[in-house]
Chain A
């Protein structure tokens, strides 16, 4: 039944290339998503807008304020409003922190005393506050020691591997690659099958001698190809536009992506068996994607979530794939390092695809 299989595949491609909406999903969406996410999704705390109230106005106080602007962590600006009104700038969201340097700061430091400065933070952004005040503490300590030339006998030498430039994009792009592959294959597969049912062509297909296995593979294969194509587009744009280093083996990445596709195509199949219109299918696929993305560790690490939510993430196949993509692309991880993820994905694939295929074939009979 080779002929029927290739017939299905060819037909599916003709349909995709003739549908403007599909074309948009396949070509425009990945690039827009990549650019938008690449530029927007930055969770590192930088550019903290900080009002400075310098009541000391000494050489040391000015030097200290200047030193805080190193490394783009803080954007110190002299405060324009009275200290009693400082909250107003927090309330309308135009400042994140305020630094208060009391009179006597410079003199105190010069006479080897301990001086106290004030830091007011808009705590509503908890992350910014925690990380930002950490930075400030480090900078203040360092400055105090530099003033008196005190050398700490014990220091930590950091050796940051994989992304020493600390670029957010390097971390996000592999995530987007995983996201795209997931969303596109689930959405397109479920919609394409439901469309056949909606238009009555599925019934016409079922009276032909095509076996349900051929039908199944003929329907999912084109979307596996498209999904991998999307991934390639995202990778190429990521490497060429954002200069992402690709450390590991592309072959391994594509091989494991194929393994992961078993699960996403299975999910697409499954959604097609529980919906009756393309809109519903799209809706289901979209709904699932939102859940999958948020619990995959894409934005925030899984181990940082509450315990119960961490257990929930175990039913999210994307979580494991995310780890694989980042591991291979950023760290050059090999099969041995990714074994637990690979096993899990294999189990997911067999169960999800097997179950959905059985369900699909049963309905097709």
Chain B
């Protein structure tokens, strides 16, 4: 195993009955990298992330997260990662603080630790007074920040974010990415899926997924140059179109 890699996947597949949601993909994410995982809806991004977080077991293939085997050491992986799903996943009838302290307990933190980190995260994510309001009464942007707070509570080394900014206004998105940058600077590996192409440009490296396969991977600007595209959006559309014509011919 390469010590410099936070995530390594080799020939990973996941089938749902005859449907190949993820089809023999391989990739590496280096420690401290901000890695963008792109793809259209239904391309297999969420399935991949779920396998990496130990929520789904792979049909075949191997992989490691933080050096632990995804097939056998899911419990170890869970201790070292943070996860924020595309679905809003906090308890709507608990306040922000109650959500944080509950998940703190879930990660086995002491009360003291929970208190310290809640204060720290409130400050860092500028949650302010919102932390004492019922989560369901919060605007979407604040909820997303709170969800990020929950996934950071136990100071994970790797952060999996599944479309964290969907449905959030541009100002909030900017703020959100600033926080992610800060985290990356502290050495946290960020693995993020998105379909906002401007966000993808913030990533150190990206991979583009289509119908369960990875069709392209590399640094955003290198890829634009390589395919002679104007920008990432055009690159993305071209790649998918190519794939579809190939499929049609085959």
Chain A–chain B contact at Cβ < 8 A: yes
A residues contacting B by CB (< 8 A) are 1, 3-4, 6-8, 10-11, 14-15, 18-19, 199-201, 203-211, 365
Q: Which of A199, A201, A210, A365 has the most CB of B within 10 A?
A: A201
- Produce 1/0 per residue, B101-126, CB < 8 A to A: 11111111110000000000000000
Chain A residues whose CB sits within 8 angstroms of the CB of B134 once the complex forms = 18
Chain A residues whose CB sits within 8 angstroms of the CB of B107 once the complex forms = 4, 208-209
B93 to A207, Cβ gap below 8 A?
A: no
Query: Which of B57, B81, B87, B104 meets A207, CB within 8 Å?
Result: B81
The answer to whether A201 and B55 touch (CB under 8 A), given A7-B102, A14-B98, A207-B78, is no
B63 within 8 A of A: no
B88 within 8 A of A: yes
Please list the 4 inter-chain residue pairs (A to B) with the smallest Cβ-Cβ separation, ordered nearest first: A7-B105, A200-B87, A200-B89, A204-B89
A200 to B105, Cβ gap below 8 A?
A: no
- Closest Cβ of chain B to A270, distance in Å, is 22
Among residues of A, the one whose C-beta sits closest to the C-beta of B98 is A14
Query: Which of A15, A200, A208 meets B88, CB within 8 Å?
Result: A200
- Closest Cβ of chain A to B243, distance in Å, is 30
Query: Which of B55, B83, B93 meets A15, CB within 8 Å?
Result: B93
Among residues of B, the one whose C-beta sits closest to the C-beta of A9 is B105
Among residues of B, the one whose C-beta sits closest to the C-beta of A17 is B93
Q: Which of B88, B91, B94 has the most CB of A within 10 A?
A: B91
Chain A residues whose CB sits within 8 angstroms of the CB of B89 once the complex forms = 199-201, 203-204
B108 to A207, Cβ gap below 8 A?
A: no
The answer to whether A15 and B106 touch (CB under 8 A), given A203-B55, A204-B89, A209-B78, is no
B92 within 8 A of A: yes
CA distance A201 to B143 in the complex (A): 13
Which residues of B from 138 to 181 have beta carbons under 8 Å from A? 150
Chain B residues whose CB sits within 8 angstroms of the CB of A211 once the complex forms = 75
CA distance A199 to B92 in the complex (A): 8
CA distance A365 to B88 in the complex (A): 21
CA distance A1 to B75 in the complex (A): 13
A3 to B108, Cβ gap below 8 A?
A: yes
B53 within 8 A of A: yes
- Closest Cβ of chain B to A188, distance in Å, is 15
A207 to B91, Cβ gap below 8 A?
A: no
B105 to A3, Cβ gap below 8 A?
A: yes
- Produce 1/0 per residue, B70-94, CB < 8 A to A: 0000110011010101011111111
A204 to B75, Cβ gap below 8 A?
A: no
Q: Return 25 A-B CB contacts under 8 Å, by A number.
A: A3-B108, A7-B104, A7-B105, A8-B105, A11-B91, A18-B134, A19-B93, A199-B88, A199-B91, A200-B85, A200-B87, A200-B88, A200-B89, A201-B89, A203-B55, A204-B89, A204-B150, A205-B106, A206-B54, A207-B83, A208-B103, A208-B107, A209-B75, A209-B78, A365-B57
B102 to A208, Cβ gap below 8 A?
A: no
CA distance A231 to B22 in the complex (A): 51
Among residues of A, the one whose C-beta sits closest to the C-beta of B91 is A201
CA distance A199 to B90 in the complex (A): 8
CA distance A365 to B71 in the complex (A): 12
CA distance A7 to B110 in the complex (A): 11
